[in-house]
Amino acid sequence: MAIASVEAFFIIKGGVSKVEQANAKKELFNAGKVDSFHKNKTYPFSTGHFFLRRFEDGGFLAMSVKCTHLGCVVNSNLETGGFNCPCHRSQFNRFGEVLAAPATRPLDIFPIVIKNGEILIDTNKAVKRTSFEKSQLTYA
Amino acid sequence: MTKEKTEKKTPSSIEKFILHLHPARIDKRALKFNRTFGLGGILALLFIILGVTGLILRFSYIPTIDHAYDSVVSLQRDTVFGQFIRNLHHISAMLMMVVAFLHLIRTYYSQAIFKKRAENWIYGLIMMFMIIASSFTGYLLPWDQLAYWAVTVITQIIEYIPFIGHSLANMVRGSDVVDGNTLLNFYTLHTGIIPMTFLFLMSMHFWLIRKAGGVALPKQDNTEKVNVIPNLIWLEIMVAALLIAGIFVASVFYHAPLQEQANPMNSPNPSKAPWYFLGAQELLLHLHPFFSAVILPLVVGVFFFYLPYFKYDNLNIGVWFNSPLGKKMTIHASIFAFVFTFILIYLLEHFLHFDIWFASVGSWFATGLVPFAIYVIPVSGYLFYWKKKHGAKTEELVMTITTILMSSYITMLLISLLLRGKGMLMII
């Protein structure tokens, strides 16, 4: 009986879950030339699901649009340069750090590679972090 | 005299079938409309309406992300009575949420869930959960913005469950994110597994009511019995006819909502859940997700399932609110919980920024334990007051806790529904 139920569980789980099939392509997202981005500005890339921000010192940070609370898409807040979530009111600053709960960790970031003056972003690999650090920035 | 009559007349096969569902004779007091308000029967009828309209909707619905939205639009535009059938299904589902909640309240406050009926309370709670699950899986199907974001949020909540959360959420979604696999999973659950399970639970529920001797009534020495046919059947037909007429008229004038097609790149602002989930959404705004999405639902769930099994000494089965003191406490507590929850949320919104003040200690403390304590300590004091000052017993205290929980949820629901605007900020 016990063995049968374990077996049944895995058969059902296999039937319901189709996660493995979903992971297919692994291409980097080309955001464009480095020079086309102004300093101290945030650029939304909705197709790539990230915000690309260039800071004062020229460093780039690609932050996921997914709120770390429950996965809604955050909006950029033009007044503060940060981000607001429309679902549960979480707020983030321009570094993606939490300004107001219920979110408990900063927005995830995507690794950036700069090749031949073009910015390539690995949107398949969201990196979790606990706070903003200078080492997260990528320079041309 | 009536007994002779029934023996002479041979019941028709329809009557025999009815007598399999109902006993032949019941206590006259069970017929009084405000004993049950017919709520259980209404639910059974709503289930049938949902089943029939759901089967019709299946003819035109296509469960793929490319076609789901368009198939609903074309159903409404091109099919004769398409919009009407969808409205019927939608309104019946909404009504089922409300009536199921009222039925739960009715059975609980008329003290009809104890002893022999305890098992049926469990079945009822599981069915309540099934109704919620059915609504939840149902509103993903049109694949509009409401559907997509509500399901994104709720499946992400599952991820906060320790250890198994992530794989469980992936199993429900059939994927890392909400996509075509999720739609197919939900379609199967909504149109197959949940209704089928519900049918079984419903049969058990009815059978257990008969085993317990029908509607719970206060003890009395001389009870007057009457025939079910025609006394009860006539009442049932009348309620059913009124209900069907009401839903049909409503379906002509009120259209089931359909937002823009799902767009994974943009959450609407504000993103609100369907109304019956808004209390939970409000809770999520104020508490650490582990508290609001895992611990509290678990504790409240266990409490509700355990309700018939607390150690009671003075049960008055079938007596509304158990005692005059119980009635007084229930009314008092529902008002207390409403006012208290409202004030607490107002203060949390505008003045009490624990997440900033205690940021260094950790979010589980700042937005978890602290607000939790602010709610629990005054409520405990309130219960203590009734116990010390008025000598309230276990029955009445447990009833008061139940009242406070339900009243708080309704308060949060109303706040989220009426007082939250853009960015989910409070508009007062």
Residue A21 has pLDDT above 60, yes or no: no
* Residue B248 sits in the same domain as residue B154: yes
* Residue B252 sits in the same domain as residue B357: no
* Residue bearing the bigger pLDDT, A15 or B114: B114
- Domain range for B123 is 17-268
* Residue B113 sits in the same domain as residue B232: yes
* Residue B146 sits in the same domain as residue B174: yes
> Does an H or E element contain A115, and which?
strand A112-115
Hey, are the CB atoms on B270 and A100 less than 8 Å from each other? no
pLDDT at residue B289, rounded to an integer? 86
pLDDT at residue A13, rounded to an integer? 72
Q: According to the per-residue pLDDT averaged within each range, which of A65-74, B154-163, B402-411 is highest?
A: B402-411
Reported confidence tier of residue A23, pLDDT bands at 50, 70, 90? low
Give the tens place of pLDDT for each residue, B317-339: 888 999 999 999 999 999 999 99
Give the tens place of pLDDT for each residue, B349-385: 888 888 888 877 777 888 888 888 999 999 999 999 9
Question: Among partner residues B179, B181, B266, which is closest to A46 by beta-carbon distance?
Answer: B266
| Residue B367 in contact with partner chain A when CB distance is under 8 A | yes
Contact B239, B41 (CB under 8 A): yes
Contact A109, A49 (CB under 8 A): no
Phi-psi region of B355 (alpha: psi -120 to 50; beta: other; left: phi over 0): alpha
* Residue B332 sits in the same domain as residue B277: yes
Residue B125 lies in a domain: yes
Instruction: List the beta bridge partners of residue A110.
Output: A62
pLDDT at residue B7, rounded to an integer? 56
Hey, are the CB atoms on A88 and B157 less than 8 Å from each other? no
Reported confidence tier of residue B117, pLDDT bands at 50, 70, 90? very high
Distance from CA of A15 to the nearest CA of B (A): 9
pLDDT at residue B1, rounded to an integer? 41
* Residue B104 sits in the same domain as residue B252: yes
* Residue B210 sits in the same domain as residue B288: no
Residue B12 lies in a domain: no
* Residue B304 sits in the same domain as residue B334: yes
Residue B87 lies in a domain: yes
Residue B330 lies in a domain: yes
* Residue B386 sits in the same domain as residue B339: yes
Distance from CA of A125 to the nearest CA of B (A): 13
pLDDT at residue B130, rounded to an integer? 95
Give the domain-ending residue among B223, B241, B268.
Answer: B268
Residue A5 has pLDDT above 70, yes or no: yes
Hey, are the CB atoms on B267 and A72 less than 8 Å from each other? yes
Residue B73 has pLDDT above 90, yes or no: yes
Give the domain-ending residue among B240, B268, B296.
Answer: B268
Hey, are the CB atoms on B363 and A86 less than 8 Å from each other? no
Give the domain-ending residue among B268, B286, B309.
Answer: B268
Hey, are the CB atoms on B170 and A13 less than 8 Å from each other? no
Reported confidence tier of residue B402, pLDDT bands at 50, 70, 90? very high
Reported confidence tier of residue B41, pLDDT bands at 50, 70, 90? very high
Give the tens place of pLDDT for each residue, A28-80: 888 888 888 888 888 888 888 888 888 888 888 889 988 988 888 888 877 77
Half-sphere exposure of A8 (CA within 13 A, CB side): 5
Measured CA to CA in angstroms, residue A25 lies from A21, A123, B178, B284 at distances of 11, 11, 18, 35
Per-chain mean pLDDT for chain B: 90
Give the tens place of pLDDT for each residue, A93-115: 888 888 887 888 899 998 888 88
Q: What are phi and psi of B94, to 5 degrees?
A: -60, -45
Reported confidence tier of residue B2, pLDDT bands at 50, 70, 90? very low
Hey, are the CB atoms on A86 and B185 less than 8 Å from each other? no
Hey, are the CB atoms on B153 and A75 less than 8 Å from each other? no
Q: How many CB atoms lie within 10 A of CB B9?
A: 10
Residue B7 lies in a domain: no
Hey, are the CB atoms on B366 and A104 less than 8 Å from each other? no
Residue B140 lies in a domain: yes
CATH code of the domain covering residue B43? 1.20.810.10
* Residue B275 sits in the same domain as residue B239: no
What's the number of domains chain B is made of? 2
Radius of gyration of chain B (CA): 24
Chain B residue with minimal CA distance to A87? Answer: B271
Residues of B in contact with A65 (CB under 8 A): 265
* Residue B166 sits in the same domain as residue B292: no
Residue B9 lies in a domain: no
pLDDT at residue A19, rounded to an integer? 59
* Residue bearing the bigger pLDDT, B44 or B154: B44
Question: Among partner residues A22, A86, A100, which is closest to B271 by beta-carbon distance?
Answer: A86
Mean pLDDT over residues B60-80, rounded?
93
Hey, are the CB atoms on B149 and A47 less than 8 Å from each other? no
The DSSP symbol for A106 reads P
Give the tens place of pLDDT for each residue, B293-322: 889 999 999 999 999 999 998 888 888 999
Residue B379 lies in a domain: yes
Residue B179 has pLDDT above 70, yes or no: yes
Least confident span in A52-61, B36-45, B102-111: A52-61
* Residue B260 sits in the same domain as residue B307: no
pTM of the model: 0.89
Mean pLDDT over residues B408-428, rounded?
89
| Residue B331 in contact with partner chain A when CB distance is under 8 A | no
Cα B159 from Cα B258, distance rounded (Å): 28
Chain A residues with CB under 8 Å of a chain B CB are 13, 16-19, 22, 46-47, 49, 65, 69-73, 75, 84-89, 98, 100-102, 104
3-class state of residue B419 by DSSP: coil
